[in-house]
Chains A and B, each alone.
Chain A
Amino acid sequence: MLIDWFTVTAQALNFLILVWLLRRFAYQPVLQAISRREERIAAQLAAAASAEAAANTEREALSGRRLEFEQHRAALLDQATQEAAALRSKLLEQARQDGAAERSRLLAVLRAEQVELELTLAREVRQVVLEIVGKTLQDLAHVELNDAMVEVFLGHLQALGEAERLLLLTAATSANTPVVRSAFELAPDTRARIRTALAALGASDPDVHFETAVGLVCGIDFTAAGHRLAWSVGDYLAGLEEGIDRILEARCRTVPAEPASVPAAIT
């Protein structure tokens, strides 16, 4: 017989005992552990969902704030760009004006220096030319030339107008002795002709003092009581020098005025 009923009973009993043992020591502990883990995971998932919801809310808030910040930044940037462009234009215009003013000032200074240089050069040239001319004329001058100039002087005396003649006569007859200066020593007959000419003006026996003056270069000079009548190369040279000085002074007056002061620095 393949079936032993005692064994059947014992095995059934063994199986039921095994069911109880495994349920007590295996299934329940494991299922409880799984349940606790599932509860913990569910709690973590709920917490994670809550945190995610909070994070989403925060993210949306941050997104809004970031968008607002971006708009504000763009507005500030645009405003700054416009201000920078305006300031740039202003500074460029200021620099352009300053450059133009500085250029004008430098041109004026340059022109003034140029004129000054020209004047200095012209004065030196004038001085040199006058010295050369004076030296040349002094070298060329001689007694005959001087006599010829005396002749011209006498001619001037005879050609004087009535008013000038009376003025010269009054001076010649004053208390002061008239003085006749010449570049060369006058010959006695020449001195006599001068006295005669003065007498012809109306002066009776005029007392004339004759002197030699190298500065006249060539010519003769009559001085009496502050009045003077002369015809000499020295006077011509003096007149030439005065003429040149007048021309140079006129040039000086045509020099442009001092340019406007340098503008204040741009701040």
Chain B
Amino acid sequence: MRLSPDEIILWQHGPLKVNATIAYTWGLMLFLLAGARLATRGLRTGGERSDWQNLLEILVTGIEQQIRAVGLNPPRKYLGFLGTLFVFVATANLFTIVPGYTPPTSSLSTTAALALCVWTAVPAFGIAEQGVARYLKSYLEPTVIMLPFNVIGEFSRTLALAVRLFGNMMSGSMIVAILLTVTPFIFPVVMTSLGLLTGMVQAYIFSILAAVYIAAATGSGASVPQPDAAGRNPGK
């Protein structure tokens, strides 16, 4: 039994290879790109909009609200990274309803790559927001003694991100595969549905945790959204 789609090698030339993880990821990228082009074709600024545009606007504004609720302002600055993180993981998990599909997120390599991106993005956004000195100083808070623990925390939470998503998705795929051999009717459907729910929850958790880490690094960190200048509550 394969624990990871990395083991399915589709093409290899020396150290270069194309495995199922990369292939499915490309497929998802093409799907998302096509969907984006389809939804953004003929965008209207009036009252009447297409269903695709409505769907995309709901998705984008929903992600924006979640980012703002975490305390990252302005949210559009972080929308590209965090939004893509959620959309990619959610789409990858959503396609588990397609028979024969193995989500790239069930590969530890993929989740590790995403976690490394988050691990890299956190100091990048933190330094961009408050400078190198203040960002590095944050590792000494509340006391110098906490420095090693903070450094260990950086690595451990990155590892936790990768393993959490990988474990959930891999276990879901394994359970469905096992059930297909034991009881090929009903139960795999139920477990697939449960896997969908789990996949959505994991996508949300992964992206929200990434947002929280970035918020902590940028010094925002306020979980309670503040009203903007116009008096509107941005979290609502």
List residues of chain A with CB under 8 Å of any chain B CB: 2-12, 14-23, 25-27, 29-34, 36-37, 40
Contact = CB atoms under 8 A, between A and B. Distances in A.
Contacts of A23: 79-80, 84
A10 B17 CA distance: 10
B122 to A, nearest CB: 15
B109 A16 contact: no
B150 interface: no
B60 A26 contact: yes
Given A15-B84, A16-B117, A27-B80, A21 B40 contact: no
B22 A15 contact: no
27 contacts: A3-B112, A4-B6, A4-B19, A4-B109, A7-B6, A7-B22, A7-B110, A11-B22, A11-B104, A14-B25, A14-B29, A14-B113, A17-B29, A18-B29, A19-B81, A23-B80, A26-B36, A27-B79, A27-B80, A30-B39, A30-B57, A32-B43, A33-B45, A34-B61, A37-B45, A37-B46, A40-B45
Interface string B101-130: 000100111101110110000000000000
Nearest to A5: B109
Nearest to A16: B117
Contacts of A9: 113
Contact of B36 (A10, A21, A40): A21
Given A8-B112, A14-B26, 18 more contacts: A2-B4, A4-B109, A6-B17, A7-B22, A7-B107, A8-B113, A14-B25, A15-B88, A18-B88, A20-B80, A21-B36, A23-B79, A25-B40, A30-B39, A30-B43, A31-B76, A34-B57, A34-B60
- Interface secondary structure of B, over-half rule: helix
Contacts, number: 120
Contacts of A22: 32-33, 36, 80, 83-84, 87
Interface residues of B, number: 47
